Amino acid sequence: MKRSSSHRLLAHGRSFAAGCVVLLLLAAGVWTSWDTAHHIVLAKGREHGTMVVTACGEDTCTGPFTPDATSADRTSVTVERSVAARTGDRFPVVVKPGSGDVVRTGAPGFLHSWAPLGGALMLAALVIGGGMRLTRTAWGAGIAGAVLLTATFVAL
């Protein structure tokens, strides 16, 4: 039995709409991740050093900063609180330009900064599989997101 042109148009419209949602999810994941990741990826010329966590609030942790190079010590810098930041922890950081905020560097910091993209990949996989009927692509996106989030959890 032949499919009518209106049925084919509806199927293409569904795939197009699902594709737009996938692009929106992935763009939001990259945008959110890049907000932190660019400080790590493009860290040349920024202040590098070590932070020791001395106190944690609800959203942030603070502590002194000891630089690696010729930069001055800072008595207090702030890092976004995560499950991996506890009082007494010491880890490498890079200072965000023009502020007292720092971002964790190294493999744990890099993976943590890209965690929103991992979540976006897992959400997009559902739309790719359900809305676009591309099951292999959906499995690939879902597994890639799960691997990224698992690697982040293990690294931190």
Task: List the chain domain ranges.
Answer: 22-42+106-156, 44-104
pLDDT digits over 3-29, tens only?
Answer: 788 888 988 999 999 999 999 999 999
Q: What is the mean pLDDT of the chain?
A: 91
CB atoms within 10 A of CB 80: 14
pLDDT digits over 100-145, tens only?
Answer: 899 999 899 999 999 999 999 999 999 999 999 999 999 999 999 9
CA 101/CA 77 separation, integer angstroms: 6
Q: From the centroid of its chain, how far is CA 31?
A: 9
CATH topology of domain 44-104: OB fold (Dihydrolipoamide Acetyltransferase, E2P) (2.40.50)
The total number of residues written for the chain in this structure: 156
CA 51/CA 93 separation, integer angstroms: 7
Q: Calculate mean pLDDT across residues 45-51.
A: 89
User: For 43, what's the count of Cα atoms within 13 Å in the CB-facing half-sphere?
Assistant: 19
CA 120/CA 114 separation, integer angstroms: 10
